[in-house]
């Protein structure tokens, strides 16, 4: 059990984390924490610093796992909550300089050969392949699993086609077809990269066997207009959070954006005079879309009377509670789920609202090329699934059953 500290320990300015206390306070204030919360978080930093010191650990040894270990050993409050704010303490990892990896490596030796290789691969994906950061991170995470199995020291010259195929089979044994397909796609990309870089004597990417796709037989599904109205009514627009959620939902429904595209919208992407918005889509593509008046009004209401003043973040939609920052795609999806619960309708994901726009257009008789343009599909084949939504149109082109009527 962690003992209660005194003096400098209670102010968070002693122990291995003491030198970082001022930067920690500055980050908390910049993230929207109130003065009382900052004072409390600083005391928690002192307890964490004292805990590290008692185990003869330095600031460089602090990681996400050690932070979770510290929080787990604290005595629980009578109501069941933790006496420390894990979210606030998580900011110290960013202060220490390795937020993306969840650990601080300050003062440690150079990265392992495997991590250096993965870093090169990620730069290749971002710069040469123009993949989005989330997709590149997903690829790197799956390739890391492959390296742990087949090349833990980062050397690929001894890897065989049999080992590549074995890694795919192992992944497929404990995952769905879609998850395995992503693993194969990431692995093939990595093996082609490795061959081009001269790290493997032959191109091993064909050894990553393809996964048989599951053909979708169901119709694309959105939400009907009644459900859409219920979702919008569930937002209390008298409150800042409600104004934000209403603007997010209306943007998803009216523009058909992906969750990540809504999360990445920045203040400079909205052209108020021209009535248009710049959307940052897949593959770093940028598209300009008309900004409907109702969507623009909802976003303006949130910016004027919902978004925290003085924040340095340029993203349009931010978290309502500290730490103030961009929502991210997960936060956008969470808004949709919470709205479903508040409206008393079955839970759906943010992508279902994108389907809603496509289904409305298909039912209105809009041609597929026009729907593809609205949804910003690069391949018309991606859009053809929505042709099945127009049942009456399909009946008009259906061929008679062989054998005549009544068969």
DSSP 345: S
The pLDDT of residue 387 is 54
Residues whose CB is less than 8 angstroms from the CB of residue 293 and which lie 6 or more positions away in sequence, other chains included = 275
Closest among 54, 87, 95, 53 to 71, alpha carbons compared: 87
Angstrom distances, CA of residue 276 to CA of 227, 273, 291, 296: 27, 8, 4, 9
Beta bridge partners of 63: 103
Write down the pLDDT at residue 32.
75
Compute CA distances 28 → 16, 34, 166, 259, 324, whole Å: 19, 9, 47, 27, 9
Tell me the pLDDT tens digit for each residue of 228-254.
999 999 999 999 999 999 999 999 998
Q: Judge whether residue 182 has pLDDT over 80.
A: yes
Highest mean pLDDT: which range of 29-33, 102-106, 126-130: 126-130
Is the pLDDT confidence value at 219 over 70? no
User: Using one digit for the tens of pLDDT, what is the confidence trace for 341-351?
Assistant: 999 998 888 88
**Burial readout 209-222 (b: 16 or more C-beta within 10 A, e: otherwise):** eebeeeeeeeebeb
Summarize pLDDT for 308-332 with one digit per residue, the tens.
Answer: 877 788 999 998 887 788 888 888 9
Lowest-pLDDT range of 75-84, 156-165, 192-201: 75-84
Q: Whole-model pTM? A: 0.62
Question: Is residue 68 predicted with pLDDT exceeding 50?
Answer: yes
pLDDT (0 to 100) of residue 39: 86
Please tell me which residue, 255 or 68, carries the higher pLDDT value. Answer: 255
Contact call for residues 164 and 204 (beta carbons, < 8 A): yes
pLDDT tens digit sequence for 242-298: 999 999 999 999 888 888 899 999 999 999 999 999 998 876 778 898 999 999 999
pLDDT greater than 80 at residue 380 = no
pLDDT for the residue numbered 230 = 94
Given this model, what pLDDT does residue 1 score? 40
Interatomic CA distance for residues 407 and 402, integer angstroms? 8
Q: Within its chain, how far is the Cα of 292 from the centroid? A: 26
pLDDT (mean) for 20-43? 82
Please list the active-site residues: 258, 282, 351, 354, 377, 386
How far is the CA of 35 from the CAs of 38, 40, 128, in angstroms?
5, 9, 45
Beta-ladder partners of 279: 287
* Residue 105's pLDDT band (cuts 50, 70, 90): very low
Q: What is the DSSP-derived secondary structure letter of residue 353? A: H
Give the phi and the psi of residue 369 in degrees, each rounded to 5. -60, -35
The per-residue b/e assignment along 16-37, b for 16 or more CB within 10 angstroms, e otherwise, is bbbebbeebbebbebbbbeeeb
- Domains in the chain, please, with CATH? 7-95 (no CATH), 113-207 (1.10.150.130), 227-350 (1.10.443.10)
Q: In what order do the strands lie in the sheet with 270-271?
A: 270-271, 276-280, 286-290
**DSSP assignment letter at 276:** E
The pLDDT value given to residue 240: 92
Q: Residue 238: what pLDDT?
A: 92
Q: Given this model, what pLDDT does residue 12 score? A: 52
Which residues contact residue 38 at a Cβ distance below 8 angstroms, ignoring those fewer than 6 apart? 25, 28, 29
Instruction: Say yes or no to pLDDT of 116 above 70.
Output: yes
Give the model's pLDDT for residue 394. Answer: 47
What pLDDT is recorded for position 157? 86
Q: What is the pLDDT of residue 60?
A: 77
């Amino acid at each position: 059990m962690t003992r209660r500290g005194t003096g400098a320990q209670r102010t968070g300015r002693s122990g291995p984390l003491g030198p970082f206390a001022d930067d920690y306070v500055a980050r908390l204030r910049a993230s929207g924490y109130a003065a009382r919360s900052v004072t409390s978080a600083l005391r928690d930093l002192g307890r964490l610093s004292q805990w590290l010191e008692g185990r003869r650990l330095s600031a460089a040894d602090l990681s996400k796992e050690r932070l979770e270990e510290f929080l787990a050993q604290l005595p629980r409050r009578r109501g069941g909550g933790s006496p420390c704010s894990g979210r606030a303490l998580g900011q110290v990892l960013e202060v220490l300089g390795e937020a993306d990896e969840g650990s601080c490596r300050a003062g440690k030796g150079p990265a392992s050969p495997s991590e250096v290789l993965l870093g090169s691969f990620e730069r290749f994906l971002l710069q040469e392949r123009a993949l989005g950061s989330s997709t590149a991170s997903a690829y790197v995470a799956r390739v890391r699993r492959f390296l742990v199995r087949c090349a833990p020291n980062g050397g690929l010259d001894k890897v065989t086609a049999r080992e590549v195929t074995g890694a795919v089979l192992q992944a497929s044994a404990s995952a769905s077809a879609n998850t395995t397909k992503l693993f194969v796609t990431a692995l093939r990309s990595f093996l082609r990269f490795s061959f081009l870089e001269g790290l493997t004597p032959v191109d091993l990417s064909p050894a990553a066997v393809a996964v048989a796709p599951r053909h979708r037989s169901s119709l694309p599904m959105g939400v009907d207009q009644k459900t859409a109205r219920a979702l919008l009514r569930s937002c209390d627009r008298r409150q800042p959070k409600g104004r934000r959620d209403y603007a997010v939902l209306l943007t998803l429904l009216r523009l058909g954006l992906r969750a990540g595209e809504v999360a990445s919208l920045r203040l400079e992407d909205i052209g108020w005079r021209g009535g248009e918005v710049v959307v940052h889509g897949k593959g770093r593509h940028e598209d300009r879309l008309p900004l409907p008046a109702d969507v623009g009004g909802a976003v303006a209401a949130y910016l004027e009377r919902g978004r925290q003043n003085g924040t340095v973040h340029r993203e349009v939609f931010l978290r309502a509670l500290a730490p103030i920052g961009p929502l991210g795609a997960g936060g956008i999806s969470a808004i949709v789920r919470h709205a479903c619960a508040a409206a008393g309708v079955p839970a759906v994901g943010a992508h279902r609202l994108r389907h809603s726009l496509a289904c409305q257009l298909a039912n209105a008789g809009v041609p597929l090329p026009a729907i593809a343009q609205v949804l910003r599909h690069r391949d018309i084949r991606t859009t053809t699934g929505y042709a099945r939504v127009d049942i009456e149109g399909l009946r008009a082109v259906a061929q008679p059953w062989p054998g005549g009527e009544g068969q």
